[in-house]
């Protein structure tokens, strides 16, 4: 089934033809349709009458269809469904916007259709169509109650929004078919893998599944983990907020039933990480990070220690369930360790791109759920970020994907005369915006970068009167030390000219309310902002840099600004990049000439060297030898890379970092 159609109701001989009609129409016309027989939000809802269907589709009244022969029971069924939805509405405070059922029963619900007479789905939906923005908004709220895609009512608000920021922030989010299947399906697999681009809703789905398991399996022990410390901290704050607005009545029992920390942890505190807790639980050695000890190696040693201690495999399991976010940051040793210590099921969510320079995008392990739609970022921004990151607008491309790989990344692909026409489907999140909505802009500036940043912020404020400081993220893409001085200057300029506080994430390691976040490219994983300002001195061809460029541009859910120097030779910004963006904005597609087989071979050769698996310590030693760095400086430089969270950084960037730091260590340029 596609992401446009979701079926929960039981298919039988009486309703199969209608369900098939609805499914075919949904998939052919890319229209979201759900066919259910009860509200999905809570498992407690069930009904005696089983010959009815509920058809949900945005912008169309909810149709409750009878395909049985008992009118009285059907009418009771309709009354019961409406009463239950009213109860759910009351629970989540939707009633303040929806009002009582008598206000929306006749305007938003139709139960008069004869299901046997529906032969044309287009006519059927046309008869159900709504015309006013107010009714469409209330209808979306009702659908969200039926499918459990609960929106924060304080965010949605009552009034129909006017500014771009409020239209996107207040847009009622509805699960698509794939997302709904993940939440309510019962796959008989020990490991459930979700894969998709960044922004496809993977973390949100994990939170919904976490909530259901925490409520319905009251004896369970659950560990939610990821590699990055800032993301883990952000998740630990999100979980109670999510539980609160989902009206979870059970208290969160931190560190006894539910843990949320990064994967490694520290020796001083057993609950500080998944691996640390596992070591404590099984009373096996814990290995801290060192230049000889990678996380993968530590997990491998833990696996061996547990198997040696319990050779029969009869050990007690540390956890009932595990949730792993950003799974692309781990290798199989961690997954094997999690499998060894988890009783029931492991939910694994990862980006289909570990890096846009991965050798294989479509992996050998097929995910259970492949999410193609990026719900965070406007398709135009995502297309340009991919094109820029992979060098698709340049004569010598840096990366190329084959047809299946493009499709796995959510693209519709048409090949004409050796040219790939790549398009992405429009998103509901942006459907209320004008066609001219600008989601990505290149700014070449001849002014100082701090002054340019303030101009951009003031423009955002003029267009969006409700914008807040934490709606804006400023990301410095370059790796050299000058970015920290630049961050200080930007901070001073923002506080002086605008009066907003600034949070430098590389120091705070967290997102702080009511502050503008400034960060290098290492400290924004898992974060998103309505507006992102990406600053670079020049666009380089380094794979790590290009991957960061793609990742950072897609941190926004309204608009990204790419700011660089006006000097074309220095900035690295080419006419091909600019015209590529112009075409995307105008035609909603990328047209890329397919490289020849010889060119593809050269592309593979260029980035394959970056795939070499080597420990951080060995890579640093290799660079020290190449640069002839004296041994007395090795330890300081190794510690500095750890402090800067550069353990997984590529060789080129580490080399630049070492050269830059040696200027300070030796007081001269190498």
Q: Is 198 exposed, middle or buried (0-12, 13-18, 19+ CB in 10 A)?
A: buried
Query: What pLDDT is stored for residue 641 in this prediction?
Result: 81
Return the closest-CA partner of residue 592 out of 603, 608, 579: 579
Cβ atoms within 10 Å of 360's Cβ, excluding its own: 9
Return the closest-CA partner of residue 553 out of 440, 663, 431, 425: 440
Rounded CA separation 343/183 (Å): 20
Query: What pLDDT is stored for residue 26 in this prediction?
Result: 95
* Residues contacting 431, CB < 8 A, separation 6+: none
Return the closest-CA partner of residue 109 out of 75, 71, 70, 155: 75
- Helix/strand/coil for 76: helix
- The segments of the chain whose pLDDT lies below 50 read 364, 611-612, 668-670
| Axis-axis angle for helices 449-463, 482-497 (nearest 10) | 40
Q: What tokens were used for 360?
A: 């294989």
Return the closest-CA partner of residue 477 out of 524, 419, 441, 410: 524
Q: What tokens were used for 15?
A: 């309703």
Q: What tokens were used for 487?
A: 């961050």
CB 340 within 8 A of CB 278: no
In CATH terms, are 179-371 and 379-604 the same topology? yes
Q: What tokens were used for 371?
A: 């999410």
Name the CATH architecture for the domain at 379-604.
3-Layer(aba) Sandwich (3.40)
H or E element: which one contains 551?
helix 543-553
- Helix/strand/coil for 240: helix
**What's the sign of the alpha-carbon dihedral 147, 86, 48, 69?**
negative
Q: What tokens were used for 635?
A: 């330890």
Domain locations in the chain as residue ranges: 5-160, 179-371, 379-604, 614-666
Query: What pLDDT is stored for residue 606 in this prediction?
Result: 64
Cβ atoms within 10 Å of 660's Cβ, excluding its own: 15
Query: What pLDDT is stored for residue 647 in this prediction?
Result: 67
Query: What pLDDT is stored for residue 291 in this prediction?
Result: 66
E-only strand ranges, 527-651: 529-535, 556-565, 589-593
What φ, ψ does residue 499 adopt, rounded to 5°?
A: 85, 15
Query: What pLDDT is stored for residue 6 in this prediction?
Result: 94
* Residues contacting 355, CB < 8 A, separation 6+: 543, 547
Query: What pLDDT is stored for residue 515 in this prediction?
Result: 96
Rounded CA separation 380/364 (Å): 29
SS (HEC) of 416-465:
ECCEEEEECCCCHHHCCCCCCCCCEEEEEECCCHHHHHHHHHHHHHHHCC
CATH number of 179-371: 3.40.50.300
Q: Whole-prediction pTM value? A: 0.73
| Axis-axis angle for helices 133-147, 101-108 (nearest 10) | 100
The size of the chain, in residues, is 670
Question: Beta strands 5-7 and 109-110: pairing type?
Answer: unpaired
CA 54 to each of CA 35, 111, 147, 589: distance values in angstroms, whole numbers, following the listed order: 6, 9, 11, 36
Return the closest-CA partner of residue 64 out of 466, 295, 76: 76
pLDDT digits (tens, 9 = 90+) for 206-218: 999 999 899 989 8
Query: What pLDDT is stored for residue 667 in this prediction?
Result: 60
CB 65 within 8 A of CB 18: yes
What φ, ψ does residue 478 adopt, rounded to 5°?
A: -75, 160
Q: What tokens were used for 193?
A: 């893998």
């Amino acid at each position: 089934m596609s992401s446009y159609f979701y079926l929960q109701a039981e298919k039988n001989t009486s309703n199969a033809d209608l369900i098939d009609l609805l499914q075919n129409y949904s998939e052919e016309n890319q229209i979201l349709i759900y066919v259910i027989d009860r509200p999905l939000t809570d498992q407690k809802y069930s009904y005696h009458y089983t010959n009815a269907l509920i058809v949900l589709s945005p912008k169309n009244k909810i149709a409750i269809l009878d395909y049985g022969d008992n009118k009285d029971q059907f009418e009771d069924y309709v009354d019961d469904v409406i009463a239950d939805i009213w109860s759910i509405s009351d629970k989540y405070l939707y009633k303040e916007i929806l009002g009582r059922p008598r206000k929306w029963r006749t305007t938003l619900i139709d139960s008069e259709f004869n299901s046997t007479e529906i032969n044309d789905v287009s006519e059927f939906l046309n008869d159900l169509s709504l015309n006013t923005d107010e009714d469409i908004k209330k209808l979306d709220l009702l659908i969200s109650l039926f499918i459990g895609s609960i929106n924060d009512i304080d965010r949605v608000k009552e009034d129909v929004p006017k500014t771009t920021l409020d239209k996107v922030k207040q847009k009622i989010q509805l699960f698509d078919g794939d997302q709904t299947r993940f939440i309510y399906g019962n796959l008989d697999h020990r490991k459930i893998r979700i894969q998709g681009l960044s922004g496809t809703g993977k973390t949100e789905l994990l939170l919904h599944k976490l909530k259901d398991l925490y409520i319905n399996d009251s004896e369970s022990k659950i560990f939610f983990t990821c590699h990055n410390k800032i993301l883990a901290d952000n998740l630990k704050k999100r979980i109670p907020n999510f539980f609160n607005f989902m009206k979870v009545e059970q208290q969160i029992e931190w560190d006894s039933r539910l843990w949320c920390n990064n994967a490694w942890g520290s020796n001083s505190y057993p609950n500080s990480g998944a691996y640390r807790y596992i070591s404590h639980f099984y009373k096996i050695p814990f290995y801290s990070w060192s230049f000889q000890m990678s996380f993968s190696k530590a997990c491998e040693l833990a696996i061996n220690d547990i198997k040696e201690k319990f050779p029969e495999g009869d050990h007690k399991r540390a956890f009932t369930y595990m949730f792993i976010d950003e799974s692309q940051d781990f290798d199989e040793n961690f997954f094997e360790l999690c499998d060894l210590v988890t009783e029931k099921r492991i939910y694994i969510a990862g980006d289909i791109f570990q890096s846009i320079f991965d050798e294989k995008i479509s992996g050998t392990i097929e995910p259970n759920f492949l999410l193609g739609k990026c719900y965070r970022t406007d398709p135009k921004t995502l297309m340009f970020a991919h094109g820029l990151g992979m060098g698709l607008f340049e004569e010598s491309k840096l990366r190329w994907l084959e047809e299946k790989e493009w499709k796995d990344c959510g693209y519709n692909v048409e090949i004409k005369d050796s040219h790939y026409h790549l398009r992405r489907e429009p998103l509901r999140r942006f459907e209320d915006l004008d066609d001219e909505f600008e989601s990505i802009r290149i700014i070449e500036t001849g002014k100082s970068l701090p002054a340019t940043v303030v101009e951009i912020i003031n423009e955002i404020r003029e267009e969006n009167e409700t914008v807040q400081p934490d709606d804006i993220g400023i990301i410095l893409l370059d790796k050299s030390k000058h970015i920290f001085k630049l961050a200080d200057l930007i901070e001073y300029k923002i506080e002086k000219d605008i009066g907003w506080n600034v949070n430098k994430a590389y120091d705070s390691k967290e997102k702080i309310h009511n502050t503008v976040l400034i960060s290098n490219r290492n400290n924004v994983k898992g974060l998103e902002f309505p507006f992102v300002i990406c600053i670079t001195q020049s666009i380089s061809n380094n794979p790590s840099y290009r991957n960061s460029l793609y990742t950072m541009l897609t941190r926004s859910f309204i608009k990204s600004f790419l700011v660089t120097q006006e000097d074309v030779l220095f900035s690295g910004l080419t006419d091909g990049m600019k015209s590529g963006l112009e075409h995307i904005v105008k035609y909603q597609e990328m047209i890329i000439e397919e490289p020849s087989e010889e060119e593809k071979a050269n592309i593979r050769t260029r980035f394959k060297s970056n795939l070499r698996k080597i420990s951080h310590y060995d890579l640093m030693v290799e660079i020290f030898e190449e640069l002839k760095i004296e041994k007395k400086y090795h330890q300081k430089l190794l510690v500095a890379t750890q402090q800067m969270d550069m353990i997984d950084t590529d060789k080129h960037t580490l080399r630049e970092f070492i050269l830059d730091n040696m200027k300070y260590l030796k007081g001269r340029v190498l």
